[in-house]
Amino acid sequence: MFADGLFIGFAVLAVLGAVGLVLFRHPMNGAMSFVVTLISLAGLYALLSAKLIFALQLIVYAGAIMSLIVFIIMFLNIQPGDLPQEETKLFYVLGGGIVVLPIGLFLAKIVKSLPEHSTEILGNNFGGVKEVGLLLFRDWLIPFEIVSILLLVSLVGAVILAGKRGTTK
């Protein structure tokens, strides 16, 4: 089926991008492979008929947040000598894999016990802007306002932290 093929392609791309993020030495290479993961996740959201979240994932995540990270990486002008020496990286990756494997198997067992459900693409405007917006401003109004305050506070904090130029140290 076409949707299954798309799912397999996006899933393989997402996992490869995540593996690249963990293994690449330079953070710029890691950021680029993480962008691949984010874009394939956006494709998966579209397959799950979440239209608004698909657009937001592309605009906010792959667009705004990742361009901020890439901008900071380029702003710091990282030379290969500035990077931490990680000779024991593969050892730690293997050790971390051994530590994480039981957790993953446990979660997989939980997922296996759930009843299977098809994920055909839904019609009737499921996940459209209007429906999600109505839900957001009716049932989730207080959390929405709290998140807006959180964004304001983090903005002020970032300006205070990074913008100390004239003050004494």
Cα–Cα dist 14/62, whole Å: 13
Count of chain residues binding other proteins (CB under 8 A): 82
Q: Does 74 bind other proteins (CB under 8 A)?
A: no
For the record, the structure tokens of 90 come out as: 């593969």
Q: Which of residues 102-141 bind other proteins (CB under 8 A)?
A: 103-104, 107-108, 111-112, 114, 116-119, 122, 126-127, 131-132, 135-136, 139-140
Cα–Cα dist 33/17, whole Å: 5
Q: Does 147 bind other proteins (CB under 8 A)?
A: yes
Q: Does 76 bind other proteins (CB under 8 A)?
A: yes
CB 42, CB 14: distance < 8 Å: no
User: DSSP class of residue 25?
Assistant: S
- What burial class does residue 51 get, using C-beta atoms within 10 Å of its C-beta: 0-12 exposed, 13-18 middle, 19+ buried? middle
Nearest by Cα to 54 from 116, 126, 146: 126
- Identify the residue among 9, 74, 95, 145 touching other proteins (CB under 8 A): 95
| Residue 13 Cβ vs other proteins, minimum distance, rounded to whole Å | 11
- Identify the residue among 9, 74, 145, 151 touching other proteins (CB under 8 A): 151
Cα–Cα dist 2/118, whole Å: 14
| Residue 36 Cβ vs other proteins, minimum distance, rounded to whole Å | 12
- Identify the residue among 9, 74, 145, 158 touching other proteins (CB under 8 A): 158
Stretch 29-68: interaction string toward other proteins, x if CB under 8 A? -xx--x--xx--x--xx--xxx-xx--xx--xx--xx--x
- Identify the residue among 80, 82, 142, 168 touching other proteins (CB under 8 A): 82
CB 66, CB 58: distance < 8 Å: no
